[in-house]
Structure 1
């Protein structure tokens, strides 16, 4: 991937960021080494060059085209670095794609999706901007899919079998979501939302539920998320979205991802489920 990043610099006329020597380059690795990003200076000034690798037969579909689709379709009211240039090439049976972005304002809030060491000191305007961005994104029309109904039908009964009673698998509504809204994809102190590979339709409230799930290991931040995004999380849509998200994270924990969150995720699922039952009982009275 480092060699591919060097190739990408040549294709896009970029050089490593001027403040960094070759041995000191900041690196941002994606899930299991599939992507590598570094700061660069390019044709548009300071930027960020991200390289994606995929087996040749899988270099298609929503994950491969997500950033370009977002650049075309998602309004600028959703703050994110602009995508300037894209180049693709094939080498050794793999496809590579180079994406040159404007440099993000601020810094990523966490090096990992889940908060594990500190509660981020985010001011009220950051949260207000996040609510505005998610509301704007939710109305974007797209044929992209972030979460499939077939997955919910299959996975929710299996991974939520510890709950008391059959769990519904069909959300009451769908909307457009970022699909991977965690702390490593958010910047501060000024809001920026990174990594638009997997955006598309999902159960309404999905992004808020995902951010809460990745905060659950830090109780103060989890409480802040619940308070700041209460209009979503305290709704019928939000409760279903939490169960859908917890399903996904419990499944990914079987592959070794965020295993430390499992006890808290299971406890949260029980809390949400009991509230859903209580809400249903109240509606029938």
Structure 2
């Protein structure tokens, strides 16, 4: 199957189908195009997000993350209103449309930040309360970070491939996680967490480790994340999740211009030494 990037593909037919089904108009001037999703503000003051997911990635939960997240409580997230799903008639793919409330303010930045955002104490309080409420929820879903279903073998395999060391993973109970926690999926100065398509059960620390890894180019920000989510990251599960997050950009295939690579490799070496004593 060919690789599809919605930033480059014609999407007018898809937008028109979503408009017709939801009985709404999309403001083309607000259109945001990403690799596998597009979104826009509607004429009734809501947000419509459209995602394309390959059929091979649809395993029973691949299209309803935003809908199922509507059942979660105690989390600052956009309210979900309506959804629509159809199978592509020409290619093995599924289109998912979700209409939600607008975000309270702008996303903090790109997924990986180059400078620290100015976030008030109230933001960190809401951030912690939401992650704690999420972890205390219940679901049968399994997290799919980067659209890949999370498994113990996948975690240990990624760590071993990146750092050349075999690790044992005897994880404690898994709990719900957002599974795509980065600075592009949160708003500020008012906290709101969005893009819920990959959420599900994961080892403790997945979300905190992901955000910490996305902050490594800004040492004071990475330190702040680790301090705020210390309980998630201080145990063996948390350290393994930190290594798993680092494996995505600090391994042999690291991009030479990524400012997180050098500190990430230093952190990986430190974590591997610590794991022997955890």
1:77-226 to 2 correspondence within 5 Å? 77-89=74-86, 90-93=88-91, 94-110=93-109, 112-116=110-114, 118-146=115-143, 147-161=150-164, 166-226=166-226
Q: Are 2:28 and 1:28 aligned? A: no
Aligned partners of 1:38 and 1:50 also within 8 Å: yes
Partners of 1:106 and 1:137 in 2: CA distance: 22
Using the alignment, how far apart are the partners of 2:119 and 2:37 within structure 1? 28
Structure 1 equivalent of residue 40 of structure 2: 38
Check 1:221–1:47 CA distance in 2 against 1; reply closer, same or farther (3 A cut): same
Alpha-carbon distance in structure 2 between the residues aligned to 1:155 and 1:243 = 9
Gaps (5+ residues) in structure 2? 1-9, 144-149
| Rounded Cα–Cα distance in structure 2 between residues aligned with 1:257 and 1:61 | 38
Partner of 2:3: none
Structure 1 residues 119 and 78 mapped into 2: Cα distance closer, same or farther (>3 Å)?
same
**TM-score, with structure 1 as normaliser:** 0.82
Q: Is the 8 A contact 1:153 1:170 kept in 2?
A: no
User: Structure 1 unaligned runs (5+)?
Assistant: 281-285
Are residues 248 and 131 of structure 1, via their aligned partners in 2, closer, same or farther at CA, if it must alter by over 3 Å?
same
Task: Give the superposed CA RMSD.
Answer: 2.5
Q: CA 1:53–1:220 in structure 2 vs 1: closer, same or farther (change >3 Å)?
A: same
State the 1:227 CA deviation.
Answer: 2.2
**Per-residue deviation at 1:151?**
0.7
* d(CA) in 1 for partners of 2:79, 2:15: 19
Please identify which structure carries the higher helix content. 1
Q: Is the 8 A contact 2:249 2:255 kept in 1?
A: no
User: How far is the alpha carbon of 1:249 from its aligned partner?
Assistant: 4.0
CA distance in 1, matches of 2:244, 2:224: 21
Contact 1:206 1:241 in 2 (8 A): yes
> Which whole-Å CA distance do the structure 2 matches of 1:40 and 1:67 have between them?
18
Q: Which residue of 1 aligns with 2:5?
A: none
Structure with higher strand content? 1
User: Is the 2:254–2:261 contact (alpha carbons within 8 Å) kept by the matching residues of 1?
Assistant: no
Equivalent pair of 1:203/1:241 in contact (CA under 8 Å): yes
